[in-house]
Amino acid sequence: MSPDTAHDDIPPGHALFARYAYPPNELGYCGPVNPDARGPSGLAGHAVEFDGAWPYLRAIADAAGLDDPLDAEVVRAYWVGGALLADVNPRELLQRLRTAFHRQTTGMLTAPLDPAGVLAHHSFHVFAVYPWIRLLDRDPATPLRVMQNCRIRWGTVVSVTDEHVLMLSRPLTFTDGDLRLGAPAPEHVRWHRDGVSLVARPVPGEAVSAHWDWVCGTLDDTECAALDTATARTLELVAAARAHHTSRGTSKSAQSARHTSRGSTPASMASAAVRPIPLNTWSTSTEAP
């Protein structure tokens, strides 16, 4: 996909979708197994096969009164953020997603989420729908790496080589049970390989977006702010749900300890005190809270 010709033969929204969908599809994580020979630009024709993205695109388009889920503003709202997200009823979206993914193992989709914080944004899918969030408290290294790469991140280009950019961006961190964005740090991301590029050659000082190993686009100040806002809102929602789950588990442990002190043996008390509360004890109901 050459950035010089990407918009010549397909609609802008289709090209935009392809730029962000290509990185995980190249890795075999989502979308069609054998996309057509047009390469990245052909992915828009398989958009419905990206079952993680399609329900959100459909919800944004429906709320905006648009027939095409691949309208450029709809696609931009899902991957980056923007005003169209405010048109989507969050309670209806939550139920819609619970229905769409009810046969899949999810992270916090069935947790008692505050519907007001639910967004039709890629960050919600990464942090709340994917199951990786459940694994953070067991061994955070792998889930943290996957969520960092899978989310759409943004940063400022420092330098450029023939294939990579060095950019400063805020990495996802997990410290003392708190999932948040850390201080800006350098990160190498690919922009070109074997004749394939999703953007024109980046320029130092530009703000760019990245998905997995690839730079997917340049961002203006408004788009950076929209992506920042959507990401922060989803992280706040996840933090609140995790805190609720932890406090509920602590309350149950306290009740168990009180019961044990009245008649259980010291051995059973010790076992109850050290037993971890698994994150998969969240309700599996698909009903809205």
Contact 205, 246 (CB under 8 A): no
pLDDT digits (tens, 9 = 90+) for 267-280: 332 333 222 323 33
First to last CA, the chain: 44
> For residue 280, what are the CA distances in angstroms to 13, 96, 138?
37, 21, 12
Q: Where are the domains of the chain?
A: 12-246
pLDDT digits (tens, 9 = 90+) for 184-241: 999 999 999 999 999 999 999 999 999 999 999 999 999 999 999 999 999 999 999 9
C-alpha of 276 from chain center:
27
What is the pTM (predicted TM-score) of this model? 0.83
Average of pLDDT values for 242-266?
Answer: 53
3-state helix, strand, coil in the chain (%, to 5): 50, 15, 35
Number of Cβ within 10 Å of residue 55's Cβ equals 20
